[in-house]
Amino acid sequence: AQSVAQPEDQVNVAEGNPLTVKCTYSVSGNPYLFWYVQYPNRGLQFLLKYITGDNLVKGSYGFEAEFNKSQTSFHLKKPSALVSDSALYFCAVRQMASKIIFGSGTRLSIRP
Amino acid sequence: GAVVSQHPSWVICKSGTSVKIECRSLDFQATTMFWYRQFPKQSLMLMATSNEGSKATYEQGVEKDKFLINHASLTLSTLTVTSAHPEDSSFYICSAKRTGDLHEQYFGPGTRLTVT
């Protein structure tokens, strides 16, 4: 069975500092990995995905994520955080022809 | 492109009544749509997968007679919560897969349901 874990409920970062939101996954085959962001009372917005190819994936709003097969991780990163990045972030995984599974979410708080 | 809308954005209904939530893909055709439920400060839980022209596939533990899903066209899926109870109060989010797209889902803005 596939699963995804976000070990941190909340991440606090000062504006201008780099940020990392952690995600690990478990699948039996090749994973398809996604990051989404959710603002209050809104649906999910797609940030980036890893399907195949380069392990470093660049996405929207300056975010990037690195696929690490040996560590089964797909951490979300940004070199310089903005206050507007404060939101709820979800990592998700799916295998071909199966449903997408979401992590529990990490609340990112950027202080001015 | 790839915009998904939901209507209404929020709704309040009384216990025992039914409420319908619409999910529309505005600029693409969606063979498959998904309905999720999200409790406060929790992740999205898949309720059902809706395929155009066929019966929805419900996840384990989701009552198909209570949460009626209809996907009558390539741009519209509806979720009807029948005989609503306060415990049905939640944030309902739909997503759509563009026909021919293997990986991405496009999410609607969600519908906040409050049952009094």
Residue B109: cis peptide before it, omega within 30 degrees of 0: no
Best of A49, A100, A104, A109 to disrupt the B interface (most B CBs within 10 Å) is A100
Please write the tens of the pLDDT for every residue from A52-98: 889 999 999 999 999 999 999 999 999 999 999 999 999 999 866 66
| pLDDT of B100 | 78
pLDDT at B63: 94
Give all strands (DSSP E) within B1-116, no chain letters: 4-7, 10-13, 19-25, 30-38, 44-51, 57-58, 67-73, 76-81, 90-98, 106-107, 111-115
Rounded CA separation A31/A12 (Å):
28
DSSP code of residue A68: E
Among B41, B93, B102, beta carbon nearest to A43: B93
Q: In the predicted model, is pLDDT for residue A41 greater than 80?
A: no
Q: Which of B20, B36, B19, A88 is nearest to A76 (CA)?
A: A88
Residue B96 and residue B25 in contact, taking contact as beta carbons nearer than 8 Å = yes
Name the more confident of A29 and A13: A13
How many degrees, rounded to 5, is the angle at CA B50 between CA B47 and CA B54? Answer: 135
Q: Quote the DSSP letter at residue B73.
A: E
**What pLDDT, on a 0 to 100 scale, did the predictor assign at position B72?**
82
Q: What is the mean pLDDT of chain A?
A: 92
Task: Report the C-alpha gap between B2 and B95 in whole angstroms.
Answer: 11
Strands (E) in A2-61, as ranges, are 3-5, 10-14, 19-21, 24-26, 32-38, 44-50, 56-58
**Residue-level pLDDT at B20:** 97
CA–chain centroid gap for B33, Å, is 8
pLDDT of residue A98: 67
pLDDT at A34: 94
What pLDDT is attached to residue A96? 62
**A90: chain B residues, CB-CB within 8 Å:** 43-44
A31 — contact with chain B (CB < 8 Å)?
no
Nearest by CB to A51, from B46, B103, B109: name it. Answer: B103
Q: Which neighbouring-strand residues pair with B45? A: B37
Low-confidence ranges of chain B (pLDDT < 50): none
User: Could you identify the residue written with the tokens 């039996």?
Assistant: A28
Enter the tokens of residue A59.
């996405």
Tell me what the mean pLDDT of segment A23-45 comes to: 89
